[in-house]
């Protein structure tokens, strides 16, 4: 199947401003830049003189940022603390034009923050501030209440799991149930914990390592990928399974076609500079393209194209619709 630039423009036009809910773990990425000129007298460690600090969105917000860059309207639903970092998180969302209406503050949890100390272009240290315990029942009620109240506004739902405690078994079950009752498609980007709680969803998108770990099997050649994909569809009963394979591209499995591979495509990256955030780009692009009327094969092909584009850049960047359009010659 060939996708033309005209077809892509039609899909993007139809998906423009359609609301897509993203529920999952949100986090703040802090980058502390400085220089080292001496060793501490207190311990044999370098002293970093700070020049500047930058605050960027991480976790499920990367998906929201991708969706916005593709022209749809993300509604991010997540949990932060009521602390110093939460203020920077809200400011970062506003600077990107992201709505904060679905962000819930929990006074008993810190804002998940990852601080990276960088000196002379070298990553010296990373400090993580987080609580991975399941969120409280009170916070669960706030998430499911907001979701249920707004479900009819959403064209699709993405569950973006980083195992930080937001997507508990109860939350997963309730969100999928509400979405199904309202005939809304659900797309999942899982992590190891609660992997098999995501049953009966529309698209399930694990990567090769997650799949190998959860099935306790070695996945290297295409036959092992096909076997793993078939096993996952059996256990999850998802409509489609998109198994991403890094530099080897991705495979699409269809439940209705005997769990067989209906698409096997290599990566589109001309050169791989950084794979960070590629998985976020894949699930975001699939959701936006399907919201714009693409079929599943078109959506996965476009997601593969989008992932190839962002992998050519250093750092976590979203896929902009202009970049995706310009990657097609006609």
Q: Which residues are CB-contacts of 76 (< 8 A; sequence separation ≥ 6)?
A: 22, 26, 60, 61, 64, 93, 98, 99, 100, 102, 103
Q: Which residues are CB-contacts of 141 (< 8 A; sequence separation ≥ 6)?
A: none
**CA 36, chain centre distance (Å):** 35
H or E stretch covering 94: helix 84-95
- Which letter does DSSP use for residue 196 in this model? G
Q: How far apart are CA 281 and CA 63, in angstroms?
A: 7
CB 66 within 8 A of CB 281: yes
How far does the chain reach from its first CA to its final CA, in angstroms?
14
CB 266 within 8 A of CB 250: no
Instruction: Tell me whether residue 200 is one of the annotated catalytic residues.
Output: no
- 126 DSSP β-pair partners: 116
Q: How far apart are CA 303 and CA 286, in angstroms?
A: 6
Active-site option among 25, 29, 161, 280 = 280
Q: How far apart are CA 314 and CA 317, in angstroms?
A: 8
Q: How far apart are CA 154 and CA 149, in angstroms?
A: 11
Q: How far apart are CA 99 and CA 95, in angstroms?
A: 10
Give the active site residues.
280
């Amino acid at each position: 199947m060939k996708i033309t630039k005209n077809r892509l423009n039609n899909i993007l036009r139809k998906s423009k401003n359609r609301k897509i809910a993203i529920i999952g773990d949100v986090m703040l990425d802090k980058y502390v830049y400085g220089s080292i000129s001496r060793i501490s007298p207190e311990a044999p460690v370098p002293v970093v003189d700070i020049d500047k600090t930058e605050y960027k969105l991480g976790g499920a917000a990367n998906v929201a940022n991708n969706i916005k860059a593709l022209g749809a309207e993300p509604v991010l639903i997540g949990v932060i603390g009521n602390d110093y970092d939460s203020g920077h998180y809200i400011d970062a969302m506003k600077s990107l034009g992201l709505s904060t209406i679905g962000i819930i503050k929990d006074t008993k949890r810190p804002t998940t923050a990852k601080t990276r100390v960088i000196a002379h272009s070298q990553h010296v240290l990373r400090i993580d501030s987080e609580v991975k315990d399941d969120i409280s029942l009170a916070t669960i009620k706030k998430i499911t209440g907001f979701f249920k109240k707004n479900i009819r506004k959403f064209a699709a739902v993405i569950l973006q799991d980083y195992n930080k405690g937001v997507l508990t078994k109860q939350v997963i079950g309730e969100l999928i149930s509400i979405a199904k009752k309202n005939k809304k498609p659900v797309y999942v980007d899982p992590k190891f914990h609660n992997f098999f709680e995501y049953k009966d969803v529309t698209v399930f998108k694990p990567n090769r390592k997650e799949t190998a770990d959860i099935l306790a099997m070695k996945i290297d050649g295409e036959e092992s990928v096909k076997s793993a994909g078939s096993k996952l569809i059996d256990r999850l009963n998802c409509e489609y399974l998109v198994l991403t394979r890094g530099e080897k591209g991705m495979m699409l499995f269809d439940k209705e076609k005997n769990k067989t591979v209906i698409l096997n495509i290599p990566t589109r990256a001309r050169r791989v500079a950084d794979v960070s955030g590629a998985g976020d780009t894949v699930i975001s692009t699939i959701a936006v393209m399907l919201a714009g009327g693409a079929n599943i094969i078109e959506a996965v092909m476009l997601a593969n194209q989008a992932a190839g584009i962002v992998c050519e850049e250093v750092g976590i960047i979203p896929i902009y619709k202009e970049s995706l359009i310009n990657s097609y010659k006609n």
